[in-house]
């Protein structure tokens, strides 16, 4: 899904994919993503360039195309690992106003290093009224305020998913509950669900994914693929 959203939104940009020589993150999520992205771009006949980091870090600016926007993807989702690359990109982006970064939600605290960050996420805080009610109920039951350092809250993922399934089961006979997974559509606090069946004998997978943009002071905004409209502000920092 992330690779597909990327291809939809940035197909006409100058795409630069950075392969990191030594990835410290054992999950290797960033490396797996760039592999999927390269397959998607190749299959869709979308041109891209590749570099090796940190070997080619000093020559990164030479990959910038002054005539059209450049989007740089780094194959490492670990914040600590990518900070040196982000600092270099931040300098380049200030010099060339058409340079952006495609990364991961964990990079959000480092947003001051670079002015333009895009990433995909299952999360999307889009209902401030429900969020306030949730926080109030949380305090009522546990006598503490929910703590979080990011706009993307994992506690809300569990709440939204549980609420979603309870509503499906409550409104449908038990024998038909599975068939209602794909048709139930009601606003949640942070996460939307769009389940699709995976094969005849497989389970269900959530196909809902948001393309988000992070920039201070606007905060997190949602990008609507294949449009040139300004992103809709979701939360200000």
| Peptide bond connecting 64 to the previous residue in cis, omega within 30 degrees of 0 | no
Q: Which residues lie below 8 Å from residue 81, measured CB to CB, with a gap of 6+?
A: 20, 23, 24, 25
What is the average pLDDT value for the chain, to the nearest integer?
A: 78
Cα–Cα distance measured from residue 12 to residue 68, given in angstroms and rounded to the nearest whole number: 8
| Peptide bond connecting 192 to the previous residue in cis, omega within 30 degrees of 0 | no
Is 82:52 a contact under the CB 8 Å cutoff?
no
From the candidate CATH numbers 1.10.486.10, 3.40.50.2300, 3.40.50.720, 2.60.40.650, the one assigned to the domain spanning 2-122+209-235: 3.40.50.2300
- How confident is the model over 170-195, as pLDDT tens digits? 776 655 555 556 555 666 787 777 77
Residue 70, token pair as written in the block:
């450049």
Is the predicted pLDDT of residue 121 greater than 90, yes or no? no
Cα–Cα distance measured from residue 87 to residue 70, given in angstroms and rounded to the nearest whole number: 16
Confidence of residue 11 (pLDDT cuts 50, 70, 90): very high
pLDDT over 90, % of the chain: 18
Residues 105-112 have a mean pLDDT of 66
According to the model, what pLDDT value does residue 24 have? 61
Read off the DSSP letter of residue 230.
P
Domain boundaries, the chain: 2-122+209-235, 128-206
Beta-ladder partners of 118:
102, 213
Look-up of token digits 């970064």:
101
Beta pairing class for 70-74 and 14-20: parallel
Residues 214-225 have a mean pLDDT of 70
Is the predicted pLDDT of residue 23 greater than 80, yes or no? no
């Amino acid at each position: 899904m992330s690779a597909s959203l990327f291809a939809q939104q940035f197909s006409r940009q100058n795409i630069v994919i950075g392969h990191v020589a030594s990835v410290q993150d054992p999950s290797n999520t960033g490396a797996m993503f760039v592999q999927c992205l390269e397959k998607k771009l190749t299959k869709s006949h979308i041109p891209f360039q590749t570099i090796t980091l940190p070997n080619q870090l000093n020559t990164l600016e030479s990959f910038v195309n002054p005539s059209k926007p450049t989007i740089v993807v780094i194959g490492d989702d670990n914040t600590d690992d990518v900070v040196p690359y982000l600092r270099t990109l931040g300098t380049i982006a200030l010099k060339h106003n058409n340079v952006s970064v495609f990364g991961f939600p964990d990079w959000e605290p480092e947003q001051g290093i670079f002015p333009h960050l895009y990433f995909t996420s299952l999360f999307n805080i889009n209902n401030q009224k429900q969020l306030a009610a949730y926080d109030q109920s949380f305090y009522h039951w546990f006598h503490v305020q929910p703590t979080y350092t990011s706009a993307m809250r994992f506690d809300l993922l569990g709440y939204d998913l549980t609420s979603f399934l309870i509503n499906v089961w409550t409104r449908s006979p038990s024998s038909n509950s599975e068939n209602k997974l794909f048709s139930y559509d009601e606003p949640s606090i942070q996460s939307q669900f769009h389940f699709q069946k995976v094969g005849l004998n497989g389970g269900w997978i959530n196909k809902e994914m948001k393309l988000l943009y992070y920039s201070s002071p606007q905060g997190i905004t949602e990008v609507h693929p294949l449009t040139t409209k300004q992103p809709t502000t979701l939360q200000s920092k």
